[in-house]
Amino acid sequence: MKRISLIIAACAFITGCTGTIVSDKAVSVIPQPASIEMTEGSFRLTAGTQANFLYEAPELEYVAETLEDMTEDIFGKGIKMNLSSLDASKGINFILDEELPAEGYKIEVAEKTIDIASSTAAGAFYALQTLRQLIGAEAFTAEKVKAVEIPAVKIEDSPLLGYRGTMLDVGRYFFPVEDVKKVLDIMAMHKMNTFHWHLTEDQGWRIQIDKYPRLTEVGSIRKRTIIGKDPNGEYDENTPFDTIPHGGFYTKEQIREVVDYAAARFITVIPEIEFPGHSLAALASYPYLGCTGEQYEVRQSWDIEDRVFCPGKETTFEFLEDVLSEVVELFPSEYIHIGGDECPTKYWQKCPHCAKRMKEEGLKTFRQLQGYGIARVEKFLAKHGKHLIGWDEILEAGVTPNSIVMSWRGTEGGVKAAKQGNRAIMAPSTYCYFDYYQSKDRENEPLAWGGFLPLEKVYSFNPFEGLSETEADYILGVQANLWTEYIPNIKQAEYMLLPRLAALCEVAWTAGRGSYGDFLTRLPAMEEMYDACDYNHRSNIEKR
């Protein structure tokens, strides 16, 4: 790779700077492109630059909007979009190249043109995310920018993993739509393409369901919340609680707004409706859903809850099918996540309905009873053209080959799934739980769930370890999980995500083939971009 020397703009960080910014960011792209070659010269981007779309595709409007917003952020006014143009002699040209992989792209920055080739609008969108990084953060923070000199470069790029996910738990703490959109913006910047929206929990039900209004009237509100950590690790009468109700839910209109906002960023939204565990908020809303029919309260502390859906009662499945019927209408995703994790069987063991079901169905163990429930849900989803995703416990309960396993208790579940021919997503707590501490310096870190997941560890994740090449084909991708027991607001969520999402996006994009040392040389430019966007992030990389 040939590197040319670049003049670093003296005015880069001076507010009030007027004039030209010379970017030196061409070699600082995250995730690392497949190939990048510096060439001679630069392209001068100004408010007068035109964008030419040389082909038509429905989602190209999102690409145009992105470029318009991006240039508006720099110049105070977006550049002109020629949505059907034949002239590619100057400006930013969007070109169709059907030979390129679905999410791949090529960028060639030259003196008169920036050519962006892709076979899909998604590829063009990712090219713009790269272009934003080639432009560099200064252009987005300095005032009165007249021009940005973007160094000439040729980039060819495509992701190695098709599923690049981020999960947000809105059950423990509710995040308003504006905050969810911020998470989607952060994801887009990292070329992540799947948002897993954890919508139901013991501590809160967050999605409007017309047929069951109490889910949000009752189930979305807990009357108080545990404060800090219980010193004994167990909750008892001495456990401190606040006295403030916590609630919130998304209306159907808001859900559609989020799905559309995500689509404009080439992000698919996968909803999670937890079954049979993590469901106390649903049981508090409709007591008949539990084994005993008792009236419960929405859970106010964390950890695993014993009171779960009763898979013995037919009415539980009626409820689930009604709920899922409304859910599949809202989410175009081919996948629906139904949880399946951490489901104690304490209440099932004493339940006559569960006993009857087990006898009728010839089920020997309570895990088989769980498997019976999951299989019914899977069949129902299949009727609606949807595939089921579940946490790796669904393997113990027995799954059909169509189910997708999300491996969280290490990678073992994903490995087992792939070996038996189930597709899997790798989200092991050991590499992907961003609710864990980023540093050992706990005194200076916000209170977190526990664990220790520094940046380097995230980066070191090899999602294919223990798998042959053929088995590795069953790994759809990787996912960052942000559980929010100790993440009450978006600023803290940003802090836990960044910069670890930069490391994981590179794992996803390059399938774990990058070098951490090289990544660290590119990270400061990304952190400048976080600052330009006013994202809260962990910083000072030398000290990590």
Contact residues toward ligand ACM (CB under 6 A) are 341-342, 391, 408
Given candidates 96, 354, 504, 511, which one binds Zn ion under the rule CB under 5 A? Answer: 354
- Is the Cβ of residue 377 or residue 425 nearer to ligand ACM in the bound state? 425
- Is the Cβ of residue 136 or residue 276 nearer to Zn ion in the bound state? 276
The minimum distance between CB 502 and Zn ion, in angstroms, equals 45
Amino acid identity for residue 337 in this structure: H
C-beta separation of 323 from 209 below 8 A: yes
Contacts of 443 (CB under 8 A, 6+ apart): none
The minimum distance between CB 477 and ligand ACM, in angstroms, equals 17
The minimum distance between CB 52 and ligand ACM, in angstroms, equals 47
Q: How many residues does the chain have?
A: 544
Cβ atoms within 10 A of the Cβ of 412, count? Answer: 13
Six-digit token string for 295:
């009236």
Enumerate the β-bridge partners of residue 475: 424
Residue 342's binding partner, choosing from ligand ACM, Zn ion, none, with beta-carbon cut-off 5 to 8 A by kind? ligand ACM
The minimum distance between CB 417 and ligand ACM, in angstroms, equals 15
- Is the Cβ of residue 310 or residue 394 nearer to Zn ion in the bound state? 310
Six-digit token string for 232:
């004994």
- Is the Cβ of residue 48 or residue 451 nearer to ligand ACM in the bound state? 451
Residue 354's binding partner, choosing from ligand ACM, Zn ion, none, with beta-carbon cut-off 5 to 8 A by kind? Zn ion
- Is the Cβ of residue 61 or residue 341 nearer to ligand ACM in the bound state? 341
The minimum distance between CB 341 and ligand ACM, in angstroms, equals 4
Q: Is 237 exposed, middle or buried (0-12, 13-18, 19+ CB in 10 A)?
A: exposed
- 353 forms part of the interface with Zn ion (CB under 5 A): yes
Distances (CA, A) of 87 to 95, 141, 434: 11, 32, 47
DSSP string, 444-510: GS---SEEE--HHHHHT--TTTT--HHHHTTEEEEEEEE--TT--SHHHHHHHHTTHHHHHHHHHHH
- 357 forms part of the interface with Zn ion (CB under 5 A): no
Residue 97's binding partner, choosing from Zn ion, ligand ACM, none, with beta-carbon cut-off 5 to 8 A by kind? none
Given candidates 226, 310, 425, 511, which one binds Zn ion under the rule CB under 5 A? Answer: 310
Burial 175-192 (b: 16+ CB within 10 A, else e): beeebbbbbbebbbbbbb
Residue 445's binding partner, choosing from ligand ACM, Zn ion, none, with beta-carbon cut-off 5 to 8 A by kind? none
The terminus-to-terminus CA distance of the chain in angstroms comes to 29
Given candidates 91, 151, 277, 312, which one binds Zn ion under the rule CB under 5 A? Answer: 312
Given candidates 21, 81, 267, 291, which one binds Zn ion under the rule CB under 5 A? Answer: 291
CA distance 479 to 336: 15
- 92 forms part of the interface with Zn ion (CB under 5 A): no
Q: Is 476 exposed, middle or buried (0-12, 13-18, 19+ CB in 10 A)?
A: buried
The minimum distance between CB 315 and ligand ACM, in angstroms, equals 26
Instruction: Please choose, out of 35-43, 121-129, 302-310, 458-466, the segment that lies near Zn ion by the rule CB under 5 A.
Output: 302-310
C-beta separation of 490 from 182 below 8 A: yes
Residue 351's binding partner, choosing from ligand ACM, Zn ion, none, with beta-carbon cut-off 5 to 8 A by kind? Zn ion
C-beta separation of 480 from 487 below 8 A: no
CA distance 509 to 453: 20
The minimum distance between CB 354 and ligand ACM, in angstroms, equals 22
The minimum distance between CB 429 and ligand ACM, in angstroms, equals 7
Q: Shortest Cβ contact with ligand ACM: which residue?
A: 341
- Is the Cβ of residue 282 or residue 404 nearer to Zn ion in the bound state? 282
Amino acid identity for residue 237 in this structure: E
- Is the Cβ of residue 22 or residue 394 nearer to ligand ACM in the bound state? 394
DSSP string, 176-199: -HHHHHHHHHHHHHTT--EEEEE-
- Is the Cβ of residue 341 or residue 445 nearer to ligand ACM in the bound state? 341
- Is the Cβ of residue 135 or residue 226 nearer to ligand ACM in the bound state? 226
The minimum distance between CB 292 and Zn ion, in angstroms, equals 8
Residue 535's binding partner, choosing from Zn ion, ligand ACM, none, with beta-carbon cut-off 5 to 8 A by kind? none
- Is the Cβ of residue 8 or residue 304 nearer to ligand ACM in the bound state? 304
CA distance 489 to 315: 36
CA distance 22 to 26: 11
DSSP, res 47: T
Chain positions 174 to 233 lying near Zn ion, rule: CB under 5 A, are none
Amino acid identity for residue 177 in this structure: V
The minimum distance between CB 479 and ligand ACM, in angstroms, equals 11
Residue 471's binding partner, choosing from Zn ion, ligand ACM, none, with beta-carbon cut-off 5 to 8 A by kind? none
- Is the Cβ of residue 137 or residue 504 nearer to ligand ACM in the bound state? 504
Binding site for Zn ion (CB under 5 A): 291, 310, 312, 351, 353-354
